[in-house]
């Protein structure tokens, strides 16, 4: 039995139930293998006052210090975050918060054979510091922005490469991320590509008539699901809809762009064809995917966007811009289409092309079944065993 400690700030909690849920899903399948004892340390930014008036920081203040999720013990130590000027020192601030928690665990006799860190910066760097301090091997998983964007800054890039050197192994969720990590200077021989899977029991085809009635859908419906932030490209999908008079659009998610997107909808005279649902609970997503006719993802950057596989598992094909691991997910007609140019015009053309030969929903579901978690779980176990045995 392996004793694994996962370190990541990307993890759900009682106040943020969908935050980093993709990490939790991977760990749940790892634990279900019966081959590991696993604990999670998921640090959150320190803030003294709970309350809506403090926005996101007020939410952090309400996160419990400890909790158990799906049978996994989770600890939430606090670490200070200094807005704007603190980026370069955040890994060390996180490390100082993590160190006494791990020391206490070890003093109580809780074994730790390996530290499994998710997100390279600051989490992976802080985990590498832990590994050095306690002489425990570390594996760091890269997930997207941590390698695609953050290394543009010199000091974080230097720290990321230091952590890559100290890590016993690294995991990327796509071949594109692996290539990017190698280009930065990480040792290719230490990198294993293990894609995310999709929970085929949670995400499954549901009765469409009931699902469509639940969300009050009329006519052919496109879905755009994700945080309402610029990089997700919801505005491009809205502009594409202007040239698709026979389609409706449902936008699921919340964020700082909502007011601007609603204003754009009014400017383009599309209010009668676009519905803003706000944030949808994770457990309600299968119903939404089952109700839609195609998913749109117009992101400017991604790692391995699970939303594509979740939609396909519910029988709904996807149209997505060619970023990150998208072209590794959407590879056959049953899965949808990849758009090479990130413009409303290209999205419009792709929608028309997809609906000229819309795949059978059962075929789309069958395609998604090739992305179960089994291979990823076994890949983690093989990697962890090889490192610990060495």
Determine the pLDDT at residue 38. 97
Under 8 Å between Cβ of 17 and 51: no
Mean pLDDT, residues 143-170 taken together: 93
Of the listed ranges 58-62, 224-228, 286-290, the least confidently predicted one is 58-62
Q: Give the single-character DSSP code of 200.
A: T
pTM of the predicted protein model: 0.85
- Residue-wise pLDDT for 169-190, tens only, equals 999 999 989 999 999 999 999 9
Determine the pLDDT at residue 49. 77
Determine the pLDDT at residue 250. 98
Rounded to the nearest integer, the mean pLDDT of the chain is 94
Q: How far is CA 268 from CA 143, 253, 271, 363, in A?
A: 35, 21, 8, 35
Same fold, 2-197+373-389 and 208-371: yes
Q: Would you say residue 210 has pLDDT above 90?
A: yes
- Residue-wise pLDDT for 16-55, tens only, equals 988 888 899 999 999 999 999 999 999 999 988 787 777 7
Q: Does domain 2-197+373-389 have CATH number 3.40.50.450?
A: no
Under 8 Å between Cβ of 181 and 170: yes
Distance CA 335, CA 14 (A): 34
Mode of pairing for the β-strands spanning 318-321 and 72-75: unpaired
Compute the half-sphere exposure of residue 66: CA atoms within 13 Å on the CB side of its CA.
5
CATH code matching the domain that covers 208-371, chosen among 3.10.50.40, 3.40.50.2000, 3.40.1180.10, 1.10.287.3510: 3.40.50.2000
Determine the pLDDT at residue 50. 81
Q: Could you give the percent of the chain with pLDDT greater than 70?
A: 99
Confidence of residue 58 (pLDDT cuts 50, 70, 90): confident
Determine the pLDDT at residue 230. 95
- Residue-wise pLDDT for 271-317, tens only, equals 999 999 999 988 999 999 999 999 999 999 888 899 999 999 999 99
Hey, where are the domains in the chain? 2-197+373-389, 208-371
Other Cβ atoms closer than 10 A to 269? 9
């Amino acid at each position: 039995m392996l004793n694994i400690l996962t370190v990541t700030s990307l993890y759900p909690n009682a106040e943020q139930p969908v935050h980093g849920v993709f990490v939790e899903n991977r760990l749940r399948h790892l634990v279900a293998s019966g081959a590991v004892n696993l604990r999670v340390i998921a640090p959150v930014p320190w803030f003294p006052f709970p309350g809506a008036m403090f926005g996101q920081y007020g939410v952090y203040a309400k996160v419990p210090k400890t909790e158990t999720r799906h049978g996994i013990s989770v600890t939430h130590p606090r670490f200070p975050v200094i807005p704007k000027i603190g980026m370069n020192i955040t890994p060390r601030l996180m490390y100082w918060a993590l160190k006494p928690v791990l020391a206490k665990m070890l003093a109580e006799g809780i074994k730790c054979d390996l530290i499994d860190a998710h997100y390279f910066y600051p989490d992976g760097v802080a985990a590498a510091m832990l590994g050095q301090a306690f002489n425990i091997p570390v594996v760091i998983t890269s997930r997207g922005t941590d390698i695609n964007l953050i290394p543009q800054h010199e000091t974080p890039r230097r720290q990321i490469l230091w952590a890559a050197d100290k890590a016993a192994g690294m995991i990327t969720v796509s071949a594109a991320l692996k290539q990017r990590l190698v280009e930065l200077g990480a040792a290719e021989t230490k990198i294993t590509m293990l894609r995310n899977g999709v929970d085929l029991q949670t995400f499954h085809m549901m009765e469409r008539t009931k699902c469509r009635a639940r969300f009050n859908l009329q006519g052919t419906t496109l879905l755009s699901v994700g945080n309402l932030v610029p990089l997700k490209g919801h505005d491009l999908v809205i502009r594409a809809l202007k040239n698709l008079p026979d389609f409706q659009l449902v936008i699921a998610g919340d964020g700082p762009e909502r007011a601007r997107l609603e204003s754009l909808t009014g400017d383009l005279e599309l209010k009668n064809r676009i519905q803003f649902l706000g944030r949808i609970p994770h457990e309600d997503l299968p119903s939404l995917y089952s109700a839609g006719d195609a998913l749109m993802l117009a992101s400017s950057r991604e790692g391995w966007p699970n939303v594509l596989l979740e939609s396909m598992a519910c029988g709904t094909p996807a149209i997505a811009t060619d970023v990150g691991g998208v072209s590794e997910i959407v590879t056959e007609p049953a899965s949808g289409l990849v758009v090479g140019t990130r413009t409303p015009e290209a999205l419009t053309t792709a929608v028309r092309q997809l609906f000229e030969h819309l795949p059978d929903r059962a075929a789309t579901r069958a395609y998604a079944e090739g992305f179960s978690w089994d291979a990823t779980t076994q890949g983690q176990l093989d990697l962890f065993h090889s490192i610990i045995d060495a």
